[in-house]
Structure formats: C-alpha cells, structure tokens
Chains A and B, each alone.
Chain A
Amino acid sequence: MRVAIIGSGLGGLLTAAILSEKGYKVDVFEKLRFYGGRFTNLEYKGFQISTGALHMIPHGKRGPLGILLKKAGSKVEIIDSEPEGEALYGPLSENEYGNGKNERITVRSSVFPLGSKLKFFKWLLKFKVLRVDPYMDRYEEELDDFSQKFLRSFLGWSLSIQPSEIKYSKLLAIYRNVVKYGGPGIPAGGCKAVVDSLAEIIKSNDGEIYLRNPVWGLFHEDKRITGLENKEGKVEYDLYISNIGHQATGKLLGEEYTKEVESRGIKYSISLEKPFVGHTGVLFTLDCRRISGMNEVTNADPNLAPSGKHLLMAHQPMLTPDVEEEIRIGLEDLKTLLKGFEYKVLAIQSYFDGWPVNRVRSGLDIGYRTPYSNLFVVGDGAKGDDIEVDGIALGIAELLRKEFGEKINLG
C-alpha cells in the first residue's frame, strides 16, 4: 500500500514514521527545502531557534506525543520539566496599580483558592446536567484574581487564545489531559531532534522525504483521490494524508469544504547572560499586558545556546490584528520583566494568515476526515482536544485507530 503525505510538519512526519513501521510505503512531499515545518530549529548565532513551537512538549514523555514517538521507535530524549509550572504574580513594577511586589508561586492544585475550585465543579455540574456550555469569558469573572489571571496566561501560552474563544467543555477536556498526563517536557536538541528522529525512521523503512517538491493539486473522481499533481505530473497512491490543514487541502481539490479560524501569536527568542526563569518548567507571567509565559530551555539542554549563554523564549497571543503594536506591547512587558538582566532579543516571530500558531483554533477542529474516502488530514488543522503538539498526536492516534485498526494505549 502506497501512501502520499503532503507536508512534512510534525503531524506528517509522525504519521509517516508510524505507517512506515507498519510496512506502508510512504512518500512525503515538502515544498520547502527543509522538513519539520513549525517544529524544527534554525541555527542563528549559535542559538537553536525553533521555527514555531517552543522546544517544549505540553505533556512531556507521558503525553500522547510522547507515547506515539515511542511507538514510532523514536529515541529522542524528553526531559521532564521541574517544576512543571510557576506563576509570576503581582505587579511587575511600582505604578498606580501596585507597589511592584510580586512573587513566584509553584503551580499546583493547592494554590488555587477553594472558592474558585468549587466554581469549576459547579460549572461541571451545570454542563453535565443542564448542558450549559458557555465561552469562558462568561465564567472567568466568578474566579478570584489569581485564578482569573492564571486562566488567561495558561490559554495565551498554550493555545494563543483568550477565555472568550474557548468553551467550558473544551477547557475541561484539556484540564483532564493535564491531570492525566502531567506537565511539560523539553526534547533534548529541541524540536529538530524530534523531527530528525522521525525522518530517520521513515528513511530506514524505505520511505522518502522529497524536499522542494510541492504538491500542486489533487485529482479526484467519485469522492476518491486518484492522484496528486507535482512537478513530475500525475502520481498515483492508494492513500493520501495531508498535513496542511483542511482549508489548504480544499484548495488542492479545487473546492472549499470547510473554513478555518486560526490562532495567532508572537514568539520572542532572547539571549541571556544568566538565567532568568532558572528551571526547566514554564513561567506563567500573570501580570503582563501581553506576554503569557516563558521557558528557558537551556536549563534542560545547554546545547541549545552557545556556551555560557541562555535561551529564553516568551510567547504572547495576538489580541488585535495590529502586529507591530502587539510586538511593541510585548517588548514593553519583556523590558519590565527582565529589568536588571543583561538580555538581547534575537528574533521576534509572528504567526498568522496561513502561517499561524494553529491552523485551527483549539476547540474548533473538525477531525481527520474529509469528504474523500482515501484522503485524511493530520496536524494542527486536525487536532484532538489537547494542547498544541499533543493535540496533533491525539488527532493522529484517532486516525490510526479508526482507519488502520491500530491499538494505541494512551493511558
């Protein structure tokens, strides 16, 4: 059975690697001159800058991606974050809003006031019994200040969205996965080590990754794909798996069968002389105007920066369409946060308009199926109910179970 994979992002490569292990003959087509998409590194001044994701796997080695990587035979090492998360809470500088006294609080269940926890269960009851499922902005005001700000930071960091963009039921699904799988981990070598390990598996199973080889269109007949069109003309396969999202896949078919709502964000890669975060977990920045959180991956793998330097990555959602203004606010936040630290902004990367944080905003995914019986979609345009790359892995697990009869134990 021959399988064509369109796009070599994490979703495409992971699917290709697992299918190649099962004996399928896979060909991966990539338009760019490197594989990995928004999940690899580009070296810049000795720093391993990620192309998209933050050198972090939301649920570390125990989560859906960790489990599927193991299944594919990937030997990549994932270092568990310790602590998983910390919240920087309180005014960042002395101003009309406060005295500038802030503290770092390790995130665990006990730091959230009982009243707010009870609220969460009240909503659960309302959802279970009455099917009441509003967007979270309707609920967040019922929370105490800390929980409210933490919710905003968490959603901004992990999904690049605001409470008004996620329904309670979807937040609940993600919360359950956080409880089930635990907190994040950092792959040694960064994102690139993950995709390199997958590419190696694909190649060792006689699969091919064709770089600079875009797919221009898909031929179809009676709701079946009969071939793809690239520079060689029409090439035929038995199965087609697209890693470019439903909307762009529709373009290859010459039809628009769905419209996607993306999530947008901005990432800052910062060089530091000495550590600011100081650990391998996430630092949620609760009192910033834009920055939701940051990590310092060199605490897990010093090789991600030149010797003696640290790589700090900060992330913010784009709350308005004015990208330059959003960056200006983000940089102001960073200036306040990093006061007294010697730092240099290496790169500011914005993600929107067809090259977004997520092709489909979390909670709006329509699954892997398309109107065509032998065409499926994987990647950030077809996630399961989980964060970022673990959402991608859940989508792939679903595809493998239902269409390929795979037994996958996700715990």
Chain B
Amino acid sequence: MEKRIFITDACVGCAFCMLVCPYNAIVVFGRARVDYETCNACMKCIMYCPNSAIGVEFLESGLESGLESGLESGYQEPQEPKSERFRIT
C-alpha cells in the first residue's frame, strides 16, 4: 500500500523532522512542508516529532475497480484518493 506523510496544524516548526530526514524531503519555514517528489515515506520524521504533528496516510489501492463500481451505483468520483488517516505517536 502506498504511504504518504502529512503535517498537521500541531506543527510549530521546530525542524526536528527536517534535521533527521534522510532524504532532505522536508523544508521548515514556521511550519514543516513535505516535498513529495523526494519523500520516501520512511516515517523517521514521525518518530522525532515532539508535538505528534506528523501523520501517515495509506492510500487505498485498487482505486480503479472501486471507481467502476462507484460509477455503476451513481457514485461521484472523489476529487482526491480516498485515504485512511491515523497518527502514530
């Protein structure tokens, strides 16, 4: 399953995540931002965040088949991939 890191409003910009990121995929300017091009979703940042402000979302796989059945039942295509969010503290 594909993973994606996200930053919540609890972020204050202490930059621990940027300092420990092995991929240099985080920039911090008052708040952390993830560069998804370089992020490998290794989740090291999550383990160092003192404010529990970083989470990971697992992008649902098999979106295509889900979309098909959704269209059949008149379901509208979602703007963004459906995701399940939870936080590791």
Contacts and interface: CB of A to CB of B under 8 A. Distances in A.
Interface of B: 10, 12-16, 18-20, 28-31, 47-48, 50-51, 89
A371 B29 CA distance: 40
B30 A350 contact: yes
Given A323-B30, A327-B29, A348 B15 contact: yes
A332 interface: no
A51 interface: yes
Contacts of B51: 353-355
A319 to B, nearest CB: 14
B25 to A, nearest CB: 14
A257 interface: no
Nearest to B18: A347
Contact of A34 (B14, B31, B48, B89): B48
Contacts of B12: 323, 350-355
A13 to B, nearest CB: 16
Interface in A346-372: 347-355
A51 B51 CA distance: 13
A34 B20 CA distance: 12
Nearest to A327: B30
Contact of B14 (A214, A324, A351): A351
Contact of B13 (A42, A214, A350): A350
B30 to A, nearest CB: 4
Contacts of A350: 12-14, 30
A355 B14 contact: yes
17 contacts: A32-B50, A34-B48, A42-B20, A43-B19, A44-B18, A44-B19, A49-B19, A52-B14, A324-B29, A324-B31, A347-B15, A347-B19, A348-B15, A348-B28, A350-B14, A353-B51, A355-B50
A349 B47 contact: no
A101 interface: no
Contacts of B30: 323-324, 326-327, 348, 350
Contacts of A49: 19
Most buried by B among A32, A37, A355: A355
A108 interface: no
Contacts of A353: 10, 12, 51
